[in-house]
A and B are shown apart, each in its own frame.
Chain A
Amino acid sequence: MADSWTFGRKIALGFGLSVAILLVVCVVSSHSTDQLIDNDRKVTHTHAIVEDLARALSIMKDAETGQRGFLLTGDESYLEPYQAALASYGPVLSNLRGLTGDNPRQQERIEQAESIIHAKLSELKRTIDLRRGPGLDAALKVVLTNEGKRSMDDLRAVLATMDREERDRLRERSESAEASASAAKTTIWLGALLGVAFVSLAGIAIARSLHQQLGRAIASMRSSSTELQAAATQQASGSREQSSATSEVSTTIRELLATSKQIAESAQRVARIAEETAGGARAGSQAVQQAQEGIATIKRQVDVIVGHMLELGRKSQQAGGILEIINELSEQTNILSINATIEAAGAGEAGRRFAVVADEIRKLADRVAGSTKEIRGVIEDIRAAVNTTVMATESGTKAVDVGARQFKDVTSAFQQIAGLVGTTSDAAREIELSTKQQTTAVEQVNVAISNVAQATKETEASSNQTLQTATQLARLSRELSQIIQARADV
């Protein structure tokens, strides 16, 4: 059970018992001292009574001495001791009466001594008065009666009795004081020896217990200090790594912050450009609508042109038909002229002149045929041109239709672009807002990281301090272990 007691409890128990022993010794010593003091006070009291008894006898001697000198000389100056005795015997008796208040026998004796003193002083006064009056002889007669001597003898006897009783009491008190002092001395020595023995035993027991518990505690402390040292070293290393990582994170966050600001600026520019693009898209949509209206007008004009060209084609076809008739006529004319030439040639000399006419007709027919061929070529060119123009116009119409549809698509695309640009503008604004919020958050994170870096540095410093403390603790545990080992060896 005592092994589970704490150091304080054990030390408190040891010191408590020691203090109890000291208290006992103190109480006994105090009691003995009180008794000694009481005895001393009583001894002093007795010495005072003895002194007053001697002083009372001395006063009466002084009064008798003065009376004798005056009787012998008649000089008043010899009465001074008598006068002093008259003044002082009362207080002395009163003091004796107070000092012996606890002793009835002494009170009776004081009464006896006082009556004797009064008788003596009365005899002295009578003689002094006789010396002053009748003279010396009258006074001597009284003296010779030995009344005074008897009074003094009685007084001496009473005072001697009182002195003996007081001296007996003084002896008893001295013996009692010696007994008390001896008992106190014995008690103090025994208490001191007991205290020393108990304190020594308690000290040995506490030292032994402390050695064991301190040994275990020191071993535990050494182990803990070693672990703490390792942990502090690891923590310091971790703190340095964390500080380095925090610095890198802080640098990265600063770069991220700069990037976020750039993104915000870019988003702002994008939003601005998107607004400008939206304006451009609206303007483009309006322009496209106007162009679409222009294309519709062109389409109507082209339709009119196509109609005219088709009419022109029909007219040229009619002209071609007429030209075919002319060609047929010229060909038949040519055939007729050829036949006329043949006939004229067959007619011989008579047909020579007719042959000339036929030849001219044939030439005219040839020329008509040539002109007809040219006209046919021209008409064919016209028809080809008309056909080409119609085809081109139809292609143009189709192209215009396609263009109109494409313009519709372009208009739709512009509207879609305007919508998308609006969406882009909103998205850019949201990006800008989000990026600003992100920038604020990153700044807060940066501040937090700075705080973390500061805390990490402080942790590193604290770890170093802990490491130093752990090292000191380890050294201290080794020193304590050496101290305990040395004491155990001793």
Chain B
Amino acid sequence: MSASAVAAAHGHDDHAHGPVVWPEDAEFGLATPGKIAMWIFLLSDAFSFSGLLLGYGLLRGGSVQWHHPGEPELGINFTAFLTFLLICSSVSMVMALAAAQEHDRKRTCFWLFLTILGGIGFLCGQMHEYFGFLPFLGGGEHGLIGEGLVFGHSDYANTFYVTTTFHGCHVTAGVIYLSVILINTLRGKYGDNPAGPVELVGLFWHFVDLVWILVFTLIYLIP
């Protein structure tokens, strides 16, 4: 049964913003085409990250000397704090979804806003890690670049910057995506039921968190 047929059967036209009852599929249950498409996109994105991490592993595994003299160690404590910040933003994201499923627009917007703040905090932390422009945060006054970890100088620096910057681009995209959903929810574009769009942006945001968990372990923690 097509989406419009289902909508018509429930008294909605094609352009209605109200909840649409999606038919339960034998293979995919209640997952909407949008959700399945988001999962397929996330899997293709996971392959991009896999390529980067695989390249990192191969270069590091095959190198005789990974750390060159003069190159700084990565700050584990500071990055653990950034990891915790992303985990907190993942929790605020699921809280936003729970509120959206209860048709509570105000609380949905509140939790989405907190999630955006978490993402912005992570990005500021990453910029500080590179350039050291927020001395009150600790973790090195001059940043990694000032301390001698320069892109192009070694495989260690190249793989570090390419992987973490690629992830940072995803966080930036996530913050923009979340902001669009927040503005649309505030403006009432989804009516009282923003659960669908919030669930999709949530999938993307949790994926960004999941990838960071692996990047944190493989690049920062493994000695």
A and B assemble together: no
